[in-house]
Structure formats: structure tokens, C-alpha cells
Amino acid sequence: MILAAGLGTRMRSTLPKAMHRLGGRPMIAHLIATAETVFDRIVVVVGPGMEALAALCAPHATVVQQERLGTGHAARMAQDLFGEGDVAVLYADNPLITAVTMRALLDARQGAELALVAMRPADPGRYGRVVTEGDRVLRVVEWKDATSEERAIDLCNAGVICAGADALRGWLGDVRAENVQGEYYLTDVVALAAAKGTVRFVEAPEAELAGINSRAELARAEAALQDRLRGEAMEAGVTLVAPETVFLCADTVIEPDVVIEPNVVFGPGVTLRSHVTIRAFSHLEGCEVRGGAIIGPYARLRPGTLCAENTHVGNFVELKAVTLGEGAKANHLTYLGDAAIGPRTNVGAGTITCNYDGVFKHRTTIGADAFIGSDSIFVAPVTVGDGALVAAGSVITEAVPAEAAAFGRGRQVNKEGRAKILRDSLLARKEKR
């Protein structure tokens, strides 16, 4: 069960807290993806008016907590869907909890009435404290209700618990709103479980358990996630020249022997095959780059782009919905949108595909082994055949046959002596000012 009904008031946002993004995906999506690797079934508790959040959780079941009366009340909303076996309660604002910790929680539950996850944060702050006796948990006390002695405890509650379905239903029915907030605390089931038998805890790192309730905490979680993603990439055989300057998405796929230079940003949906080099200050999203390709510096690859083997995309080149054929090059100052570029074709500096007519998008198709001169403009839809040559400065509005040379520019006219006449006239005007 994932509790995700929080409004995120401290976020100062109209979005539900669970929809704020980390590593290019909503917080709830991180947690669901991890939980899917551990649990048989997932139920998400959302708040009223959170249809968009419920849609993000599909195909998993959702229930609505109409009144926000605390975490214990939220858990009650889902109790009819507990089924049999063990039930774990997770929180949407703890999206970085790992599958390792989830499995450790399930293991700790064996032979105990209840198991919970705890941590020792550098600054315990206002976290609830876990009161123990040896390795057994006696109760969890919320910071607002804690005594000064209890606040001195450094073992803090992460909120995550696991118990048998039938027992948890019973304890949830016994929870009372007898506290400073007048809410039903899920943490109260810990004392109820301890009164019946053994409660154990699993300790996990703060980095995967710290709650996210504000923009500042969201930024800290992003930093922690980026450290994790970078570490996983390097462990898998990826070279990050300056790891702290590379920003990855949770779904970024990078194969071994890829080299990524400083200040590179990945949006969602990027796949890099082995032996790719991404040079500095490039931005990639929704694209695939295949072996031997060199991208950047200062390149932008947008969704729908495929750079085949041994392609080159250079500085200040933008590709959107482009297929760049094997060995093709676009090395300087170019925009290619909604286009297919054939193998080994060279695209000169300043080339533009005019793909949008104000209403519809249109495609440009350029064949293999073509040569596109600098400052060429293609007014789509248009086709250039294999082996064709387009002269620099051309505006291409009609098909260019294979092996043809296209000159789509005005004829040059030289006016002898006119440069000096024009220059002298301008200088004379300047002196009169």
C-alpha cells in the first residue's frame, strides 16, 4: 500500500506532492517501479480530485481518502484490498527507498508481529522517534508528542511498516486520534503490535528514506538520486569525465564503453549504445545513439531521433524526429527536423529543414552519399536522391534526382567599382553627423 494523498502544501504547487518529478519521472512512478520488483500487488491511496495521479498509478488499484485525517485513516481506506499475507505500507514522498530495503523489511517481519524501517539522520529534526529495548521496538512517538528524553533518541521512524493483513486491519480499527494533531497516526499500530508480541526494525540509509515535503527537500532528493544513477552507470562501465556535472534520468540506458564529457543533461527516454561519445554541454531527450557515434559539443537531440552507427552531430546542431543514417554527419550550426538523412551524407553548416507550415509538419528525405552545401534550406515536403549535390546557399523546394546537382539560389551579379562608391557615400554621411 502506497499512501499518496498528500497535497504538498509546502511545495507551493497545484500538483499533488506525489506528481513532482525526480530524475525525469514523478515520485510515485519511482516508488511503484521499485515496489513492482518486490510485491505481488500494489494499492495506492490518493486524495479527492487527484484523477491525474490515479491515472499515473494504472494499472494498479487506487482508493480515495476523502478526508485527510492522518496516515492511519488513509491506511483504513485500503484495508478492504489487503487480501491475505503480509502488507507493507510505503509513502509516496519517500520515493528513493530501494528494493533491498523492502526485501529486508519482509524478512524482518518473519517471526515478528510487525517490522518497521528506521534511520539515523544527520539531523533528526522533527522525525518521529523509535523507542527500543535492545533490538525490539516498544513504540514510535511523533515529535510533537515526544518528551525531551524521547526527542534525544537518534533512531527515527521512516514510516514504512509491514504486518500481517488480518492483524493490521484490527490495529487500524483500534487507532484513536488522541494526539496534538487530532489525527489517526499509523505509527500507533507499532505500540499495539508490541503489546501483542515482537516488533523489529530494519535500519536503512537516510539518503533513501528522507521525506520530501518542500522544494528544498526535493532538490536534496534529486542530488541523492543523481549520485545513485551516476554510481550505477560508472559501475556498469560508463566513463563520466566529471560525474557531478552529468544529469541522468531514471530511465536512461547507457551501455558499457560510453564516454560522457562534462555538463551533459539527459531527459527521459535516452538510449546510448556501446562506444558512443557525448561531448560537453549537450542535451539529449527521447533519442537513441548507436555505436561509434560522436555527439556534441553543444548538441541537442530531441524526441524521435535516431543517430545510427558512426554518425557525427557537432556543435550547435539540433535534431528533432530525425533518422541520421550510418556514417552521416551534421557538424555545425544546423537544424534538422522531421527528416531522414541517408548513410554517409554530409550536411553543411547552417542547413535547415523547414518542417512546419504553421499548421502541419512535413518531412524532408535526403538519400545516401549526398552532399549538402552550407546554408541550404529545405522547404518540406521535399526529397533529395542518393549521391545528389546541393549547392551552398540553396533553397530547395522541389525534388532533387539522384546524382543531380541542385542550385536553388539567385544568379550572382558583380557591379564594377560600386563598392568604393558606396563606401565613400557612407563615410561622407558619417562626417556630416
pLDDT digits (tens, 9 = 90+) for 311-335: 999 999 999 999 999 999 999 999 9
pLDDT class of 364 with cuts at 50, 70, 90: very high
By residue count, the chain amounts to 433
pLDDT class of 309 with cuts at 50, 70, 90: very high
pLDDT digits (tens, 9 = 90+) for 236-291: 999 999 999 999 999 999 999 999 999 999 999 999 999 999 999 999 999 999 99
- Render 236-268 in DSSP notation, one character per residue: TT-EESSGGG-B--TT-EE-TT-EE-SS-EE-S
State mean pLDDT over 221-231: 96
Distance CA(61)–CA(136), nearest Å, equals: 34
Binding-site residues for UDP-N-acetyl-alpha-D-glucosamine, in ranges, read 3-6, 17, 65, 70-71, 128, 142, 157, 213, 302, 320, 335, 346
State mean pLDDT over 305-311: 98
Q: What is the pLDDT of residue 78?
A: 94
Question: Which residue would you say has higher pLDDT here, 22 or 185?
Answer: 22
Which entry of 20, 73, 275, 332 is annotated as an active-site residue?
A: 332
CATH of 236-406, one of 3.30.420.40, 2.160.10.10, 2.70.70.10, 3.20.20.220: 2.160.10.10
Residue 410 predicted with pLDDT over 90 = no
Q: What is the pLDDT of residue 113?
A: 95
Distance CA(332)–CA(317), nearest Å, equals: 6
Lookup: cell for 273: 549504445
For the chain, percent of residues with pLDDT exceeding 70: 100
pLDDT digits (tens, 9 = 90+) for 23-48: 999 999 999 999 999 999 999 999 99
Binding-site residues for Mg(2+), in ranges, read 93, 213
Binding-site residues, in ranges, read 3-6, 17, 65, 70-71, 93, 128, 142, 157, 213, 302, 320, 335, 346, 349, 355-356, 374, 392, 409
Q: What is the pLDDT of residue 182?
A: 81
CATH topology of domain 2-208: Spore Coat Polysaccharide Biosynthesis Protein SpsA; Chain A (3.90.550)
For the chain, percent of residues with pLDDT exceeding 90: 85
Q: What is the pLDDT of residue 6?
A: 87
Degrees, nearest 5: CA angle 26-244-212: 35
**Burial (CB count within 10 angstroms: exposed 0-12, middle 13-18, buried 19+), residue 216:** exposed
State mean pLDDT over 158-186: 90
State mean pLDDT over 65-70: 90
Average pLDDT of every residue of the chain: 95
Instruction: Decide the pairing of beta strands 277-278 and 259-260.
Output: parallel
What is the residue extent of each domain of the chain?
2-208, 236-406
Instruction: Decide the pairing of beta strands 329-341 and 300-301.
Output: unpaired
pLDDT class of 211 with cuts at 50, 70, 90: confident
CA distance between the termini of the chain: 79
Residue 180 predicted with pLDDT over 80 = no
Helix (H) or strand (E) holding 115: strand 114-119
Q: What is the pLDDT of residue 343?
A: 98
> Is 283 one of the catalytic residues?
no
Task: Name beta bridge partners: 21.
Answer: 26
Binding-site residues for acetyl-CoA, in ranges, read 349, 355-356, 374, 392, 409
Q: Which residues contact 338 (CB under 8 A, 6 or more apart)?
A: 320, 321, 322, 353, 355, 361, 362, 363, 364, 380
Residue 71 predicted with pLDDT over 80 = yes
Q: What is the pLDDT of residue 178?
A: 77
pLDDT class of 139 with cuts at 50, 70, 90: confident
Q: What is the pLDDT of residue 359?
A: 93
Rg (Cα) of the chain, in Å, rounded? 30
Residue 179 predicted with pLDDT over 80 = no
